[in-house]
Amino acid sequence: MNTKYQTIESLHKELIARSFTAVELLNSYLENVDARESELNCFVSQTREQALEAATKVDSMIESGREISLVGGIPAALKDNFNWIGTKTTASSKILDNYVSPYNATVTQRLLDANAVFVGKTNMDAFAHGSSTETSDYGVTANPYNTQRVSGGSSGGSAAAVAANMSVYAIGSETAGSVRGPAAWCGLYGFAPTYGRNSRYGVVAMGSSLDRPGVLANCVEDCALVTDIIAGKDSHDATTIPVEKVEYRKALSADHTGLKIGIPKQFLDERIDPQVSARVREMLAEYEKLGATLVDIDLLDPKYAVAVYTIVCRSEVSSNLARIDGIRYGHVSEKKAESVLDQIAYNRGEGFGNEAKQRSMTGAYALSAGYYDAYYKKAQKVRTLIIQDFANAFKQVDVIIGPTMPTVAPEQGVTKNNPLFGELADMLTESSALAGLPCISVPVGVNNENLPIGMQIFGPQFAEQLVLDTAYIYQTRIAK
pLDDT digits (tens, 9 = 90+) for 223-263: 999 999 999 999 999 999 999 999 999 999 999 889 999 99
How far is the C-alpha of 61 from the C-alpha of 397, rounded, in Å? 47
Residue 38 annotated to the active site = no
The pLDDT value given to residue 331: 62
The larger pLDDT score, comparing residue 417 to residue 101, is at 101
pLDDT of the residue at 336: 64
- Phi, psi of 111, rounded to the nearest 5 degrees: -75, -40
Phi, psi of 455 (to 5 degrees): -120, 130
For 391-413, what is the mean pLDDT?
98
The mean-pLDDT minimum among 67-76, 277-286, 354-363, 372-381 falls in 354-363
Q: Where are the beta strands (DSSP E) in 130-229?
A: 142-143, 146-150, 169-174, 189-192, 212-217
Q: What is the residue range of 153's domain?
A: 8-251
Residue 54 lies in a domain: yes
pLDDT digits (tens, 9 = 90+) for 446-469: 999 999 999 999 999 999 999 999
103 inside domain: yes
In a domain, 287, yes or no: no
Q: Is 28 a catalytic residue?
A: no
Beta strand pairing call for 260-264 and 399-403 = parallel
* 59 close to 136: Cβ distance less than 8 angstroms: no
| pLDDT confidence of residue 345 | 73
List pLDDT tens digits, range 16-61: 999 999 999 999 999 999 999 999 999 999 999 999 999 999 999 9
CB atoms closer than 10 angstroms to residue 295 = 14
pLDDT at 11 over 90: yes
Mean pLDDT over the full length of the chain: 95
For the chain, what is the total number of helices (H) and then of strands (E)? 16, 13
- pTM of the predicted model as reported, rounded to 2 decimal places: 0.96
**How does strand 43-46 pair with strand 260-264?**
unpaired
In a domain, 375, yes or no: no
pLDDT: which is higher, 408 or 334: 408
pLDDT on residue 324: 87
Domain membership flag for residue 345: no
- Quote the CA–CA distance of 119 and 33 in Å, as a whole number: 9
Which pLDDT value is given to residue 326?
A: 74
Distances in whole angstroms, Cα of residue 101 to Cα of each of 93, 213, 271, 353: 15, 18, 43, 22
Express each pLDDT in 132-148 by its tens digit.
Answer: 999 999 999 999 999 99
Does a structural domain hold residue 388? no
Active-site option among 92, 132, 154, 155: 154
> CATH no. for residue 191?
3.90.1300.10
Q: What is the pLDDT of residue 419?
A: 79
Please give the pLDDT value at position 323: 87
Contact criterion met (CB below 8 Å) for 159 and 185: yes
Confidence grade of residue 369 (pLDDT, cut at 50, 70, 90): confident
Task: Say what the pLDDT of residue 318 is.
Answer: 94
pLDDT of 379 strictly over 70: yes
- If one counts the domains in the chain, the total is 1
Residue 2 has pLDDT above 80, yes or no: no
Looking at the domain assignment, is residue 462 inside a domain? no
Set 151, 167, 173, 178: catalytic member:
178
Residue 421's pLDDT band, with cuts at 50, 70 and 90, is confident
pLDDT for position 422: 86
In a domain? residue 152: yes
CA angle 236, 241, 246 (to 5 degrees): 105
The residue among 325, 308, 328 whose CA lies nearest residue 431 is 308
Q: Say whether 131 is catalytic.
A: no
Tens digit of each residue's pLDDT (9 = 90 or more) over 298-352: 999 999 999 999 999 999 999 999 888 777 766 666 666 667 777 677 677 778 8
Give the CA dihedral 109, 115, 117, 122, nearest 10 degrees. Answer: -20
